[in-house]
Structure 1
Amino acid sequence: MNAYDLARALHILAVIAWMAGLLYLPRLYIYHVKAAPGGEMDLTFQTMERKLLKLIMNPSMIAAWVFGLWLFWLRSGSGADWSFAHQPWMIAKIAGILFLTGWHHYLGVARKRFAAGTNQRSERYWRMTNELPFIAAIVMVLSVTLEWAF
């Protein structure tokens, strides 16, 4: 086993865990919207959302970033050749990473609003935005596996 294969395997595992959270947390919000503030269901959802974010999503996002940066370094030949970083497929991947990271933080802010009882988003909003991470993942996976160019 070489370092690149190990980094790639660890990166994929971290991304799977992160994506699971990015897809599940908005689903919890869909149902949380219906809970009476301060009620038993509200408190249950708050606990589930906090634990999902703090125990699964945050560590897996950090791991995905660390292993992804390691892959980036290894792909460059330990810093010798960064030409791949300017290719359209890599630019699409980086844009997707920035979107998923921003979405992650947005979901964290939304969790705090639910906890404070100040959520302004509807069930419909959360249903409509729930698939955004998966759409980004599709573009990113196709970009990296096909390494397409214009």
Structure 2
Amino acid sequence: MAGGKSDGGSKAGIRAAVALTLFLLVGFALYVADEQSRYLWMKSLHVIAVISWMAGLFYMPRLFIYHTGAAVGSEASETFKVMERRLMTVIMWPAMVLSWVFGLWMAWFVFGFQGGWLHMKIAAVVLLTVAHVHQARSVRAFHNDERLHSERYWRLMNEVPTVLMIVIVVLVIVKPFG
């Protein structure tokens, strides 16, 4: 607390931790629940987590584009820092973790880690995770007033999650490569 004001970022982090805990508890409850409906519930939770994660992966590079154009120390720059940190800690990290938890559950219990399409999907999700980690490191760099990349770079990086999402959706729906 500075000057009597509460730190919204700390509260947001606590809320994210509580939400993640509740989501995992729901997941565990479903794990021990009725076997017939478990798969559909786990798949639903996985899709919800993936949509949340993808929303963050799509939005963060846009914030970086605008942040790159803002003067260091300006009100706009400081606002972008808060937005980026909250997006990463409140939405993106929990959503990524839950996407992996529920996705690996399905890969193991539903598919037995079998199928070329599944191995390719996991490889694409690993690349999506690499993009996520790159964005997380960039949030820290921007927080330290470091501008490591240009607006053009972030415009190109904005396309990486889109391409990977297309690959993942095709692999899941079409299931090529057995």
Q: Same fold (TM over 0.5)?
A: yes
Seq. identity, % = 42
Query: Which residue is equivalent to 1:119?
Result: 147
- Cα offset for 1:131? 1.2
Aligned partner of 1:110 among 138, 147, 170: 138
| 8 Å CA contact retained: 2:107, 2:118 | no
Query: Which residue is equivalent to 1:149?
Result: 177
TM-score (norm 1): 0.91
Superposed CA offset, 1:5-24 (max 9, x none): 11111100000000000000
Secondary structure of 2:72 counterpart: coil
- Cα offset for 1:149? 1.5
Is the counterpart of residue 32 in structure 1 residue 67 in structure 2? Answer: yes
Query: Which residue is equivalent to 1:133?
Result: 161
| 8 Å CA contact retained: 1:92, 1:139 | no
1:1-150 alignment to 2 at 5 Å? Answer: 2-76=37-111, 81-82=112-113, 84=114, 87-149=115-177
- Cα offset for 1:73? 2.2
- Cα offset for 1:88? 2.4
Report how many aligned residue pairs link the two structures.
Answer: 143
Which letter maps to 2:70?
Answer: A
- Cα offset for 1:91? 1.9
- Cα offset for 1:128? 1.0
TM-score (norm 2): 0.77
Moved more, 23-32 or 113-122: 113-122
| 8 Å CA contact retained: 1:46, 1:115 | yes
| 8 Å CA contact retained: 1:22, 1:57 | yes
Secondary structure of 1:65 counterpart: helix
Gaps of 5+ in 1: none
Gaps of 5+ in 2: 1-35
Alignment RMSD:
1.3
